[in-house]
């Protein structure tokens, strides 16, 4: 496995891969790798891509300095894990390489209007501008590629897809289904900050999604089912919504067919999200 730290070598390695007639498979991460990240690597390898995995904790997507400071950094373990699953190029750029003016604001930013302003964007102002900006830079340095993102961050995938479409970037965005632990909790690098009690409480998020997914009903009925599940766990609810899968706008009871359920809550100071597909239909 090649380990790269500077942007020039990263760009050259990706270009050399394409020159050999191979497809670059890009797996962007912030490290603290788990099975959810490895599912992205496996998806890229199944397609025959040369896998470039990036690890960069992007400060521009954290509105809370304390949250940034607490974010897990496990580079040595991540490197060993990446090599064990067949990552070809591990990219670990420095903060100076990615944002040379930090902590001053970077003058250029990418803001995906609408998609980036609701749900997580409403609760975390500036978050998706930080996400879109860093992903745009990853794409700019990597060049034409297939980029793999987990559906656990469903809104992030929607924002990145829209950015790629609007800017005509030479990137094929591939989404990979949510990976869960045996108890149903969606895998997240933040889960490690939960106590045993907090983890039990957090399971209400996946139960809320399951409660909406197991039935076909109007949007208001599914919302009520999710909120009831979250209320029983007594966790701090950020949102529990039924939205259009593409626009992420809330749906009313006149909507029918495919939709997306998204929930977010705070457990022991840790913000967690989950989501899943649901079907809107007549009252049961």
| CA pair distance 91, 139, nearest whole angstrom | 13
CA torsion, points 263, 188, 111, 121, in degrees to nearest 10? 30
Going by the DSSP 8-state scheme, the letter that residue 180 receives in this structure is: B
Q: At a CB cut-off of 8 Å and minimum separation 6, what does 203 contact? A: 183, 184, 185, 233
| CA pair distance 114, 110, nearest whole angstrom | 13
Residue tagged active-site, from 37, 111, 127, 197 = 37
* Look-up of token digits 């197991």: 214
**42 is a catalytic site residue:** no
| CA pair distance 126, 111, nearest whole angstrom | 9
Radius of gyration of the chain (CA): 19
Which residues are annotated as catalytic? 37
């Amino acid at each position: 496995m090649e380990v790269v730290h500077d942007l020039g070598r990263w760009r050259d390695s990706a270009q050399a891969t394409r020159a050999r007639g191979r497809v670059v498979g890009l797996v962007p991460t912030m490290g603290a790798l788990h099975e959810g990240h490895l599912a992205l690597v496996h998806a890229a390898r199944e397609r025959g891509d040369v896998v470039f995995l990036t690890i960069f904790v992007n400060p521009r997507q954290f509105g809370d300095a304390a949250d940034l400071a607490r974010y897990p950094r496990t580079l040595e373990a991540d490197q060993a894990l990446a090599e064990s699953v067949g990552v070809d190029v591990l990219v670990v750029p420095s903060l100076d390489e990615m944002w040379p003016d930090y902590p001053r604001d970077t003058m250029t930013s990418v803001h995906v209007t609408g998609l980036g302003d609701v749900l997580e964007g409403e609760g975390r102002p500036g978050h998706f501008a930080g996400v879109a900006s860093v992903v745009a830079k990853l794409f700019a340095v990597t060049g034409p590629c297939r980029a793999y993102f987990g559906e656990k961050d469903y809104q992030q995938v929607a924002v990145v897809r829209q950015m790629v479409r609007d800017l005509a970037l030479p990137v094929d965005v591939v989404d990979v289904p949510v990976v869960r632990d045996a108890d149903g909790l969606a895998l997240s690098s933040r889960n490690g900050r939960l106590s045993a009690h907090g983890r039990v409480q957090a399971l209400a998020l996946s139960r809320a999604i399951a409660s909406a997914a197991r039935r076909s009903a109007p949007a208001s009925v599914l919302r009520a089912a999710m909120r009831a599940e979250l209320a029983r766990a007594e966790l701090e609810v950020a949102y529990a919504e039924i939205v259009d899968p593409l626009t992420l706008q809330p749906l009313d009871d006149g909507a029918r067919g495919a939709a997306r359920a998204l929930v977010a809550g705070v457990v022991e100071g840790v913000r967690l999200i989950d989501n899943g597909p649901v079907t809107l239909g007549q009252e049961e």
